[in-house]
Amino acid sequence: MKKSILYALLLMAFLAFAGCQPAAVPAVAVTEAPTLPTTVPPTDAAPPTAAPVVLEIIGMTETRSLTMEDLSDLPYTEGLAGIKSSTGKITPPAKFGGVLLTDLLELVGGLDSSMSVQVEAEDGYAMTLSGDQILNGDFIAYDPGTGYETTSDSPLKVMLAYEMDGKPLDEKKDGNLRLVVISQEPDQVTDGHWSVKWVTKVSLKPLVEEWVLLLQGAITEEMDRGTFESGAAENCHKATWQDEKAQTWTGIPLWLLVGRVDDDIKHDDNAFNDEAADKGYTVEVVAGDGYSVTFDSARIKRNDNLIVAYLVNGNPLIEKDFPLRLVGSDVGKKESVRGIAKIIVHLDEKLSAQPTLPPQPAASPTSSSDSPASAGGLQIVGLAGAAQSWTLDDLKGMELVKVAVEHPKKGQQELEGLRLNALLELAQPKSEAKKLVLSASDGYSVEVDLKAVQSCTDCLVAVSDDGLSLAMPGMESSFWVKDLAKIELK
């Protein structure tokens, strides 16, 4: 009875509460949300990484950046390459694989003989090759067994290698890419400076003219442009100097070049002979036109402020300075030799020493109390049966001839003077005489073969109020000695 009363009361309360609610709202259709995928990628996932650029090619009008995959898509070439170092060490030929430089340069317009190619390494080392070198394989080749110059039986080609013996290059040793000169036979090696490691950039540039610097001392070396440029590289012997016009000159200190020929040690930490420098000798820097400046060994000894420069502001020198010019904070205005062709180390001479002249022969007295050299005259000494000595006035009083000659740089000239062979006949060269040493009043000298002079009918000692000079048609300008003072038969 009590339970039924309780249920009745609860039912009445519920009905009263329901009467207080608002009217029902009509149902609205709801579009279902899309079903999410069951697997959601993590929010910290990295985007795909692009392949790294390993090589930049800079053409005359366009630039390309290449990955290793790009390089592998280019025509593939294999060949054998080895090197001969500056010290003579031979690394025998090994098999390399990669892309010919000519194929690579097709991507930026192609290569021709009017261009040069600069190959640059990651560390700043750079080497320049001429278009002819690359297109014609114009490199000196050496026999791998003997180290002597040879002729390769197969064409030499230049390649940017990314494989060695079928495997990728050792990145720590060679980098991703390495320049090599290859052939198809293991019969040659080339100079080590052409084998550039860690290559990252190849640039087309206007043609660079080839040249040779002659170094003479205890030994003789003909240093070509490539060898010099290699020595002047960033991590080798590069030296720079900024002049008063804020131009930056780049080259090699003079003392390092002297060190290549002051004894038979050409290239290592002890190449420069300090002991010989302390004993004393002279170093003569000679221009192509014969102008020269002489330095004492004490002045050049390990002096980085006497620089033989081949670049100014990163470019080859202008014509009047080309190929090399002596510059630096320790170089005087008259010492800045332009167009350097030769550096001579006179190991048996000291700057303070004066040349000893032979007694004057009675048959040819001078007309002045001065020596012929100081009076602008001429002496012929050495292996002569009758040494000769003339003042300038003596020579002017002789029968002069006019000769048209061709100067190697200045072109056609008409000069007046005495035929060199006529003067030599007066000196009566001895049978053992083989050479002539032609010396100027400022100390410049050059050596020439006696037979070559005797066969030169128009070689002339030109006579003028300014003194004497040699005209040597058919010979390079270094033999056209200005201010001629002495001829020695030896």
Please state, for a pLDDT cut of 70, what percent of the chain lies above it: 84
CA 72-74-77 angle, to 5 degrees, is 85
pLDDT digits (tens, 9 = 90+) for 130-176: 888 899 998 889 999 988 888 877 899 999 999 999 999 999 999 99
Residue range 293-313: mean pLDDT, rounded: 93
- Both tokens of 78, joined, read 């294999």
Q: Is 104's pLDDT higher than 80?
A: yes
pLDDT higher for 352 or 147? 147
pLDDT digits (tens, 9 = 90+) for 28-54: 444 454 554 555 555 566 666 788 999
* Highest mean pLDDT pick, 117-126, 134-143, 407-416: 134-143
Contact (Cβ atoms closer than 8 angstroms) between residue 262 and residue 255: no
297 DSSP β-pair partners: none
Distance separating alpha carbons of residues 86 and 35, to the nearest angstrom: 74
- Both tokens of 270, joined, read 């002890």
Task: Supply the pLDDT for residue 465.
Answer: 80
DSSP 54-91: EEEEE-SS-EEEEEHHHHHTSPPEEEEEEEE-TT--EE
Residue with tokens 């050792």: 170
Distance separating alpha carbons of residues 314 and 361, to the nearest angstrom: 56
pLDDT digits (tens, 9 = 90+) for 451-467: 889 888 889 999 988 78
Eight-state DSSP code of residue 429? B
- Element holding 253 (H helix, E strand): strand 248-253
State the pLDDT confidence band at 58, using cuts at 50, 70 and 90: very high
Distance separating alpha carbons of residues 110 and 132, to the nearest angstrom: 13
Rounded to whole angstroms, what are the CA distances from 152 to 91, 133, 146, 188, 460?
17, 15, 14, 6, 44
Rounded to whole angstroms, what are the CA distances from 233 to 193, 254, 368?
10, 15, 55
Task: Supply the pLDDT for residue 50.
Answer: 81
Residue 113 phi/psi, 5-degree rounding, is -70, -10
pLDDT higher for 30 or 253? 253
Task: Supply the pLDDT for residue 12.
Answer: 57
Predicted TM-score of the model (pTM) = 0.50
How much is the CA Rg of the chain, to the nearest whole Å?
Answer: 39
Task: Supply the pLDDT for residue 127.
Answer: 82
Range with the lowest mean pLDDT among 3-17, 141-155, 328-342, 438-452?
Answer: 3-17
Beta carbons within 8 Å of 435's beta carbon, 6+ residues apart? 447, 448, 449, 450, 489, 490
Distance separating alpha carbons of residues 487 and 436, to the nearest angstrom: 6
Bridging pattern class, strands 199-206 and 53-58: parallel
Contact (Cβ atoms closer than 8 angstroms) between residue 117 and residue 106: no
Q: Is 100's pLDDT higher than 50?
A: yes
Sheet holding 53-58, edge to edge: 63-67, 53-58, 199-206, 115-121, 126-130
Contact (Cβ atoms closer than 8 angstroms) between residue 425 and residue 478: no
- Element holding 469 (H helix, E strand): strand 467-471
Domains of the chain are 53-206 (3.90.420.10), 212-346 (3.90.420.10), 378-489 (3.90.420.10)
What rounded mean pLDDT belongs to the chain? 83
Task: Supply the pLDDT for residue 268.
Answer: 63
